[in-house]
Amino acid sequence: MLVAEAVGRALAASGIDVVFGLLGSGNLTVTNAMRDAGARFYAARHEGGAICMADGYGRVSGRVAVCSVHQGPGLTNTVTGLTEAAKSRTPVLVLAADTPAAALRSNFRIDQAALVEAVGAVAERVHGPDTAMADVARAVRRARVERRAVVLMLPLDVQAAECDPAPAPGGPDLAPAAPADAAVEAAAATLRAAERPAIIAGRGAVLAGAGPALRRLGERTGAVLATSAVANGLFAGDPYAVGIGGGFSSPVAARLLGEADAVIAFGAALNQWTTRHGTLIAATARVVQVDRDEEAIGAHRPVDAGIVGDAATTAEALVAALDGHASGRRTAALAEEIAAGAWRHVPYEETARLDPRTLTIALDEMLPLERTVVVDSGHFMGWPSMYLRVPDADGFVFPQAFQCVGLGLGNAIGAAIARPDRLTVAALGDGGALLALPELETLGRLGLPVLVVIYDDAAYGAEVHHFRPMGQAVDLAQFPETDFAGLADAAGCRGLEVRRIEDLEGVREWLADRDRPLVLDARVDPDICAEWLEEAFRGH
Ligand SMILES: Cc1ncc(C[n+]2csc(CCOP(=O)(O)OP(=O)(O)O)c2C)c(N)n1
Ligand SMILES: [Mg+2]
C-alpha cells in the first residue's frame, strides 16, 4: 500500500474521525484515505480557518483534532492559528505535505520543521516507508499525551512509496501524576489556618477533570471559588463561585478574592490577566500553586509553596488530608452577597445607542443555557465573558493565548461540530469577523446552527479606546459601516442587523427552527469603553 494511504488509514484506526483542512495535491491522497476509513472531512476556505476549526474542536471534544494541508503555503497559512493551539496546549495534529528532500528547487520548498518549531509546535516527520507507521503513532501520541500541537511532515516521495500498513501500537495510558505527601500536608496546613481561603482553577484543572474534587475542597475549607478566563464555567451553579478572577471579575468578586488570606491555584498560571497584574491577590496572602509542570510554578508571580501534581489527584489528596476540618466561612449571607454581586446586577448608564451590555444580557436570557460560547479577541471580548452564562467549562472557548484577533469564527465552527447538542455562540468584533471572512462561506455551506454575534463598532475598538484618551489620532483604526447582514446572506447564512434591543425578536424566531447560521450585526455604541481594558493596557 502507498504510504499516503497507509498513513490515512492508521490515523483513522487510532480513533481520529474528524478532519479539517484544505486540499492540495500534496494532501489529497492521505485525506481521501482518512475519509474512506470513516472520518468526516470539513473543508475550510483558508488554512488559517482550518487550523482554528481543529483548535476549537480539540478544546471542546478533548480529542486529537486533525488539520490537513498542502506543503509550503498551505502550512504557512496555518501558522497564526497553530501558534494559538501550541500556546494553549490543544492536542492538534497538522498533516502537512512536504517537498521531497531532493527537490531543492521546488517552489513549495521551505524549512517546514523550523517554521513550526519557531511558534512552539512540535515538528514530526514520516521519515520513510519502513518507519511510517511508527512515525504516525508517535505523532498522535505526542499530541494526545503531551497535549502539544504536532505537525507531521509528509514528504511527497515518501508518501508515494510502498509500505506495510500494519499500524504501530499507540502506547499505554498514563495515570495522572500524584503529588508528594509532604507537599500536600504543607498545603493542608495553610488551608487549615486560613480564615478566608480562595481556590483559583485554570485550564489544567479543567483538563484534569478536577471540578468535582475542587468543589469538595471548597466545601471543606470554606473557600470561595474562582477560575481563570479560560476555565470559565468550571464552577457553574456553585453558590460560592465568584466567576472569573482578573479583569473580568465583578467588584464583589474582586473584593472577595482580594480579602483572601490563602489562595490555592490549580492548573492556573496566575498570570497578569488572572491576577490583575498581581493586584487582585493581597500581598499578605499565602499563595500555593498546583501544576503538573514544574516550570509553571512561580513563573508569573512568586508563590509561597508549589505542588507538582495533577489538579484532580491533588485536590482529592487535600480533601482527604483535611478530613474533620470545618470552616464557618460559607454562610448564607456570603452566598447572597455573591449572587447579588454578579455582573448582570451591577448598574451602568445606558446611552441612546445599542449598549453591548444590554445586548448581551438580553441574549443571555433568550438563548438556551446548553450553549458553547466562543470569544474572539478585541475590546468587546469582556461583554460575552462577563454576561453570557455557560453550563460548564466545555461551554466556553477562549482562544486568547496568542492575543490574536480573528481566530474566533474558526474555533466556533470546530466547537459546533464537536458539540452539535449545544447552541454555539460565536462572539466576534467587526475586525475579527472580517479577518475570518472566508469561513463565513464555510459556516453557510455547512449550514451549522451557529449564532454569530458581531459587536460592530466599525473600528478596531481596542486601539481606539487605548490611544484616543492619550490624544493620538485613531482614524486609521476606524472604518465606514460594513453590511455584515448582507455578507452573511450572500454566504448562505441569515443576516440580521440589530440597532435596538427590539431587533432581537429575529433571534427568537430563528431559535425556533435554526435552519442555517444566524449572523447578528449588532451596531453597538462605539464610545462605550470597558473598564477591564484600561487595566489590560498596562500589560502592553
Ligand atoms: C492578528 C492581530 N492583528 C492585530 C491585533 C491588534 N489588535 C488587538 S484588538 C484589535 C481590534 C480588533 O477589532 P474588533 O475585532 O472589531 O474588536 P473591537 O476591539 O473593536 O471590539 C486589534 C487590531 C491583534 N491582536 N491580532
Ligand atoms: Mg470593532
Query: Helix 505-513 to helix 356-366 angle, to the nearest 10 degrees?
Result: 30
Closest Cα to residue 264, out of 220, 323, 324? Answer: 220
Centre of ligand 1 to C-alpha 68, Å, is 27
d(Cα 160, Cα 188) in Å, to the nearest integer?
A: 59
Which of the two residues, 531 and 520, has the higher pLDDT score? 520
Question: Is the pLDDT assigned to residue 372 strictly greater than 80?
Answer: yes
Which residues have CB under 8 Å from 214's CB, separation 6+? 199, 201, 205, 225, 234, 235, 266, 311, 315
Closest Cα to residue 241, out of 361, 358, 389? Answer: 389
Closest Cα to residue 71, out of 44, 98, 51, 47? Answer: 98
Split at pLDDT 50, 70, 90, the class of 344 is very high
| Residue that has been written with the C-alpha cell 470597558 in this structure | 530
To the nearest whole percent, how much of the chain has pLDDT over 70? 99
Centre of ligand 1 to C-alpha 21, Å, is 25
Centre of ligand 2 to C-alpha 350, Å, is 19
Read off the pLDDT of residues 470-501 as tens digits, 9 standing for 90 and up: 999 999 999 999 999 999 999 999 999 999 99
d(Cα 161, Cα 157) in Å, to the nearest integer?
A: 7
The answer to whether the CB of 167 falls within 8 A of the CB of 8 is: no
| Identity of the amino acid at 155 | P
Q: What is the mean pLDDT of residues 305-312?
A: 98
Closest Cα to residue 61, out of 112, 18, 93? Answer: 18
Query: In this structure, what are the phi and psi dihedrals at residue 467, rounded to the nearest 5 degrees?
Result: -100, -25
d(Cα 457, Cα 233) in Å, to the nearest integer?
A: 28
Question: Is the pLDDT assigned to residue 62 strictly greater than 80?
Answer: yes
Write down the pLDDT at residue 58: 98
Write down the pLDDT at residue 424: 98
To the nearest whole percent, how much of the chain has pLDDT over 90? 97
Split at pLDDT 50, 70, 90, the class of 537 is confident
Q: Is 404 in the pocket of ligand 1 (CB under 6 A)?
A: yes
Centre of ligand 2 to C-alpha 428, Å, is 8
The span from the first CA to the last CA of the chain, in angstroms, equals: 53
Going along 304-443, which residue ranges are E strands? 305-308, 371-375, 396-397, 423-429
8-state DSSP, 392: S
For residues 337, 342, 347, 351, the Cα torsion angle rounded to the nearest 10 degrees is: 180
The answer to whether the CB of 90 falls within 8 A of the CB of 59 is: yes
| Identity of the amino acid at 523 | R
| Identity of the amino acid at 362 | A
337 Rama class: left (phi>0) / alpha (psi -120 to 50) / beta: alpha
Q: Is 384 in the pocket of ligand 1 (CB under 6 A)?
A: no
Split at pLDDT 50, 70, 90, the class of 540 is low
Closest Cα to residue 408, out of 439, 386, 387, 379? Answer: 439
8-state DSSP, 264: E
Q: Is 432 in the pocket of ligand 1 (CB under 6 A)?
A: yes
| Identity of the amino acid at 73 | P
- Closest ligand 1 atom number to CA of residue 459: 20
Q: Is 455 in the pocket of ligand 1 (CB under 6 A)?
A: yes
Q: What is the mean pLDDT of residues 512-528?
A: 97
Substitution site in 377, 454, 467 for ligand 1 pocket (most atoms within 8 Å of beta carbon): 377
| Residue that has been written with the C-alpha cell 456553585 in this structure | 238
Write down the pLDDT at residue 534: 77
**Alpha-carbon radius of gyration of the chain:** 24
Read off the pLDDT of residues 226-241 as tens digits, 9 standing for 90 and up: 999 999 999 999 999 9
Question: Is the pLDDT assigned to residue 539 strictly greater than 70?
Answer: no
Q: Is 48 in the pocket of ligand 1 (CB under 6 A)?
A: no
pTM, 2 dp: 0.98
The three cell numbers locating residue 186: 504543607
d(Cα 198, Cα 506) in Å, to the nearest integer?
A: 42
Question: Is the pLDDT assigned to residue 57 strictly greater than 60?
Answer: yes
Read off the pLDDT of residues 175-202 as tens digits, 9 standing for 90 and up: 999 999 999 999 999 999 999 999 999 9
The three cell numbers locating residue 525: 455604541
Write down the pLDDT at residue 538: 64
